[in-house]
Structure 1
Amino acid sequence: MAASLPQQPTSFWRLSRGQRKAFLAAWLGYLLDGFDFILITLVLTEIAEEFDLGLTQAATLISAAFASRWLGGLILGAIGDRYGRKPAMILSILAFSVGSALCGFAWGYWSLFIFRAIVGIGMAGEYGSSATYVMESWPTSMRNRATGFLLSAYPIGTVVAALAYEVIVPSLGWRWLFYVGLVPIALTLYLRRALPEAEEWVRDVGARKEVTTSSALFSAKRRWPNVALSVVLAGGLGLIFSDNAGGFGIALVIIAIIAFCLFAVQLSGKLWPVMFAIMVTVFCAFLYSWPIQSLLPTYLKTELGFDEGSVSTALTWAGLGYAAGCCLAGILGDRLGTRRAYVLGLVVSLAFVFPVFALSSDNILLLWILLFAMQLTSQGISGLLPKYIGDHFPTRLRAAGLGFSYNVGALGGAVAPLLGAAVGEQIGLGNALTLLASTLTITVALIIGLNLPARLGRALRVPSDAPALNHEPAANKQS
């Protein structure tokens, strides 16, 4: 083992041609994912005006994609564990591309809500399949960089979307911005023909049908009960996040939590407490980041009075900061350890949150710089999240484990715009975004810094060959 360590690549250019090609293809897919997903935030005011929606109801259209992501993480993750990371990635791209294009044909609130839910299913699958594909194609010494560099594609996609918004919407209207979402389908043809399967999946899983998450979810005894459970869960979440739960909101939330626990037990067996702890961690992470991600364009247009060009410029600076932060996070993660780098980024980000929302529209250049710095540290550091989550699951469960736990936690992104809008109506949108970002950033820093999910697993003596749980010294070194 010791003799093989020096042979591991230590930079992108020392990777094999196949490893670089795998990364670039996955990176491009994730860029297009970011492009499609962020479109709704750019045209929220235009959609609200056309469909006569209030800010809170319009914000539920952002939440729609988050409310469906658990399903994408569950099904496409299981497909990735059983049939390979590549086919799951291709199906994910098809889902979010078709869903985005359908948004352009929406005739009202509910049609747009459903089409955005389709986008969410595809995005969930893309996150889990792309992250596991790249991690399992790269050497272990570079896996923080693998996920950090990969996730830099998402904010680049948001920058491209912001530029497209500035060019397309003023002349053609908001619907044409969604029609462009069909472009990623062309990428799937390349992926199907040109890419190999992830080496680690082939070696550790391959044709071993009985050890994957698909055998747990889709066995003869569980198939139809799981379908019924999924229908109930999807309907309940749809009512909750469309703000139509009435007096049954609390009951539906309890039912959803129970359903998620049942799926977690099936997917991960005795690892389910660790999976649930990961869900809570990701939920809090989305609550600190997505109020800003989803409502920043609205804040710039309503409270600062920016036009389309100024909003596009602001989002470009923020997106570039996000992308640079993901790359920097990957480098720091491999040098300092995943958890140390993660907590460092979160703590530093607190220095930028307050100034960003305290500035007036007269300080444009300073606002751009602070947005860049804030997203570099707070959002960019999330480039380490796939590595952090993936270390808590063995290879045979990793795609579904990462995809499901991340995307259930991503329901925080569904709550975030609603919470941000509701609090904003009371204290102002800028103050609300500052309060939520700072409070939840500290919460996530404490959870990750104290290594609570892995500590829980070891305290309960959960048997697992997952890196974070296997050996205490190794876990500390890698995370």
Structure 2
Amino acid sequence: MSKSVPHAPTSFRELEAPQRKAFFAAWLGYLLDGFDFILITLVLTEIANDFGLSKTRAATLVSAAFVSRWLGGLVLGAIGDRFGRKPAMILSIFAFSIGSALCGFAWGYWSLFAFRAIVGLGMAGEYGSSTTYVMESWPVHMRNRATGFLLSAFPIGTVIAALAYGVIVPNLGWRCLFYIGLVPIALTLYLRRSLPEAEEWQADVGNRRNVSTSSMLFASSRRLPNAVLAIGLATALVLIFSQHTAGYGWLLAAAAIAGFIVFAVQVAGRLVPVMLAVMATVFCAFLYSWPIQSLLPTYLKSELGYSAVQVSTALTWAGLGYAVGSCVAGIAGDALGTRRAYVVGLFLSLLFVFPAFALPAGNVVLLWALLFAMQFTSQGISGLLPKYIADHFPTRLRAAGLGFTYNVGALGGAMAPLAGTTIAGRVGNLGTALMILAGTLTVVVAAIIGFDLPARIGRAFKADDEKASSAMTERNTTRAM
């Protein structure tokens, strides 16, 4: 008698209860991540006034969280690969909650820079652990939707933050906005007691030792050298992004790049050319998206003269566009393929970037519509980015591979506000600077993904063995469903 083949789910409703539960828990964690992370962009002008900072100096505080993200992605990713996706996700939420709350107690530039770096550690770990957790809990053929739906939580968090800004800051001041960061800690208690572990990680890694990134990074012979390297790398990045290079910026940048390559070799082995190529892709992706993400509130307040309430409303529409776009991107990715859907979304975004920043003050409703459409396409399509990155790594190093690759590339986000304000100083207008960065880098990223350059580089360096192993794992998982 032949066995009946179990029905493969094709929609969220058809997923099993544990799979839906895993998604909602990760989604809520990522929402709170978005809330905590975006707060600094909302209150840059208030902080600059209180601490006596220039606009460019204040913008480096946005970069502070990016300075530490590579370390959070690497260490918390390694913990996720060795001990499971769930504990890594819990540690990540705890870290960004504590860091955000501490920002409310900052007494000057450097204390706030340090506390934002703690937020970056947690955010990096949350991105890698939550995305791998959901992907490995969902069927393979629905994983674009898994990441697209999950990443919709981040802009919802930013919308809630924008609404909170409009209510709290005018009445209680900017510090009270950061104290709310303690709220996510309650979520960690629920996650620890209620969530199952990701099925694919349990099957492929489970309790086996010496098979994941932690065994490579934390081996007894490597602990001390890696700790020294991490301290040196972090110091170089702090000096670069706080603009204290004393004329040695290029030397520090070269040292940082060399340090990243050393860690990449340990994590990826033969896949290191692919990992470096994906890092470059993510770096460019952040340079097209994060100037807008980080400097839009400043642009609306300082150049268009909008009030706190008007800024809050504009950011709400932008965030909703991002959230809806992420969900649509996930559906499109499963239907058309990850890369094809990604490229289409990027080129569509160019239709809205230029009108959004050419619009003069006073056209409030049209501005809302343009911001919604722009973020729907440009930011929403980034819901496919975790799936795009994860496809390059097998399960045993997926969390650290995704977390490290994404968060090293995310240094483009650290450069974004600096690049935006620098170009604005030369062209005389922040809106024009944002158009230049977004328009140029969008085309670059579309070309990289469209021509699949990381995969081509991998084939050129004969680095396909690990990727083939990952593909085989996915095929076996699909057959077992």
TMscore range, shorter length:
over 0.9
The equivalent of 1:461 in structure 2 is 462
Q: Closer, same or farther in 2 for the Cα pair 1:327/1:468, shift >3 Å?
A: farther
Calculate percent identity across the aligned residue pairs. Answer: 72
Q: Closer, same or farther in 2 for the Cα pair 1:18/1:347, shift >3 Å?
A: same
For structure 1, which segment, 459-468 or 162-171, has the greater mean C-alpha deviation from structure 2 after superposition?
459-468
CA contact (8 A) 1:392 1:467 kept: no
State the alpha-carbon separation in 1 of the partners of residues 376 and 464 from structure 2. Answer: 37
State the alpha-carbon separation in 2 of the partners of residues 417 and 348 from structure 1. Answer: 24
State the alpha-carbon separation in 2 of the partners of residues 464 and 190 from structure 1. Answer: 39
Pairs within 5 Å for 1:59-70: 59-70=59-70
Amino acid of the structure 1 residue aligned with 2:272: W
CA contact (8 A) 1:454 1:468 kept: no
The equivalent of 1:477 in structure 2 is none
The equivalent of 2:111 in structure 1 is 111
The equivalent of 1:440 in structure 2 is 441
State the alpha-carbon separation in 2 of the partners of residues 419 and 125 from structure 1. Answer: 26
The equivalent of 1:449 in structure 2 is 450
The equivalent of 1:356 in structure 2 is 356
Does the residue aligned with 2:250 lie in a helix, a strand or coil?
Answer: helix
CA offset at residue 5 of structure 1?
A: 7.6
Pairs within 5 Å for 1:398-437: 398-427=398-427, 428-437=429-438
State the alpha-carbon separation in 2 of the partners of residues 263 and 52 from structure 1. Answer: 38
CA offset at residue 468 of structure 1?
A: 9.9
Amino acid of the structure 2 residue aligned with 1:69: R
The equivalent of 1:125 in structure 2 is 125
Does the residue aligned with 2:369 lie in a helix, a strand or coil?
Answer: helix
The equivalent of 2:10 in structure 1 is 10
CA contact (8 A) 1:153 1:323 kept: yes
Amino acid of the structure 2 residue aligned with 1:22: A
State the alpha-carbon separation in 1 of the partners of residues 247 and 389 from structure 2. Answer: 35
Q: Closer, same or farther in 2 for the Cα pair 1:5/1:126, shift >3 Å?
A: farther
CA offset at residue 7 of structure 1?
A: 2.1
State the alpha-carbon separation in 1 of the partners of residues 467 and 107 from structure 2. Answer: 47
CA offset at residue 4 of structure 1?
A: 8.5
1:289-328 deviations in Å (ceiling 9; x for gaps)? 0000000000000110000000000000000000000000
Does the residue aligned with 1:68 lie in a helix, a strand or coil?
Answer: helix
The equivalent of 2:75 in structure 1 is 75
The equivalent of 1:149 in structure 2 is 149
The equivalent of 2:193 in structure 1 is 193
CA offset at residue 175 of structure 1?
A: 0.1
CA offset at residue 460 of structure 1?
A: 1.4
1:361-394 deviations in Å (ceiling 9; x for gaps)? 1211111001000000000000000000000000
Does the residue aligned with 2:65 lie in a helix, a strand or coil?
Answer: helix
State the alpha-carbon separation in 2 of the partners of residues 306 and 6 from structure 1. Answer: 56
The unaligned stretches of length 5 or more in structure 1 are 475-479
CA offset at residue 464 of structure 1?
A: 2.7
Pairs within 5 Å for 1:188-337: 188-337=188-337
CA contact (8 A) 1:42 1:162 kept: yes
CA offset at residue 395 of structure 1?
A: 0.3
1:315-348 deviations in Å (ceiling 9; x for gaps)? 0000000000000000000000000000000000
CA contact (8 A) 2:135 2:143 kept: yes
State the alpha-carbon separation in 2 of the partners of residues 468 and 116 from structure 1. Answer: 38
Q: Closer, same or farther in 2 for the Cα pair 1:468/1:333, shift >3 Å?
A: farther
1:249-273 deviations in Å (ceiling 9; x for gaps)? 1000000000000000000101101
CA offset at residue 470 of structure 1?
A: 5.2
State the alpha-carbon separation in 2 of the partners of residues 443 and 378 from structure 1. Answer: 13
State the alpha-carbon separation in 2 of the partners of residues 51 and 6 from structure 1. Answer: 62
1:404-440 deviations in Å (ceiling 9; x for gaps)? 0000000000000001011111211000000000000
The equivalent of 2:184 in structure 1 is 184
Amino acid of the structure 2 residue aligned with 1:198: A
Amino acid of the structure 2 residue aligned with 1:447: I
State the alpha-carbon separation in 1 of the partners of residues 96 and 299 from structure 2. Answer: 27
State the alpha-carbon separation in 2 of the partners of residues 67 and 333 from structure 1. Answer: 31
Q: Closer, same or farther in 2 for the Cα pair 1:23/1:4, shift >3 Å?
A: farther
CA contact (8 A) 1:457 1:469 kept: no
State the alpha-carbon separation in 1 of the partners of residues 120 and 407 from structure 2. Answer: 9
Q: Closer, same or farther in 2 for the Cα pair 1:167/1:425, shift >3 Å?
A: same
State the alpha-carbon separation in 2 of the partners of residues 192 and 4 from structure 1. Answer: 36
For structure 1, which segment, 382-391 or 206-215, has the greater mean C-alpha deviation from structure 2 after superposition?
206-215
State the alpha-carbon separation in 2 of the partners of residues 470 and 170 from structure 1. Answer: 53
Does the residue aligned with 1:94 lie in a helix, a strand or coil?
Answer: helix
CA contact (8 A) 1:458 1:469 kept: no
CA offset at residue 466 of structure 1?
A: 2.6
Does the residue aligned with 1:7 lie in a helix, a strand or coil?
Answer: coil
CA contact (8 A) 2:270 2:466 kept: no
State the alpha-carbon separation in 2 of the partners of residues 465 and 12 from structure 1. Answer: 31
State the alpha-carbon separation in 2 of the partners of residues 305 and 261 from structure 1. Answer: 44
The equivalent of 2:45 in structure 1 is 45
The equivalent of 1:102 in structure 2 is 102
CA offset at residue 282 of structure 1?
A: 0.2
State the alpha-carbon separation in 2 of the partners of residues 118 and 467 from structure 1. Answer: 36
Does the residue aligned with 1:330 lie in a helix, a strand or coil?
Answer: helix
The equivalent of 2:171 in structure 1 is 171
State the alpha-carbon separation in 1 of the partners of residues 365 and 465 from structure 2. Answer: 51
CA contact (8 A) 2:395 2:470 kept: no
CA contact (8 A) 2:394 2:470 kept: no
Runs of 4+ deviating beyond 6 Å = 3-6
Amino acid of the structure 2 residue aligned with 1:137: S
Amino acid of the structure 2 residue aligned with 1:400: A
CA offset at residue 463 of structure 1?
A: 3.9
The equivalent of 1:377 in structure 2 is 377
Amino acid of the structure 1 residue aligned with 2:463: V
Q: Closer, same or farther in 2 for the Cα pair 1:439/1:468, shift >3 Å?
A: farther
CA offset at residue 459 of structure 1?
A: 1.8
State the alpha-carbon separation in 1 of the partners of residues 418 and 246 from structure 2. Answer: 16
CA contact (8 A) 2:103 2:116 kept: yes
State the alpha-carbon separation in 1 of the partners of residues 324 and 69 from structure 2. Answer: 26
CA contact (8 A) 2:145 2:330 kept: yes
Does the residue aligned with 1:361 lie in a helix, a strand or coil?
Answer: coil
Amino acid of the structure 1 residue aligned with 2:146: A
For structure 1, which segment, 7-16 or 34-43, has the greater mean C-alpha deviation from structure 2 after superposition?
7-16
TM-score by length of 2: 0.96
Does the residue aligned with 1:235 lie in a helix, a strand or coil?
Answer: helix
Amino acid of the structure 1 residue aligned with 2:379: Q
CA contact (8 A) 1:168 1:177 kept: yes
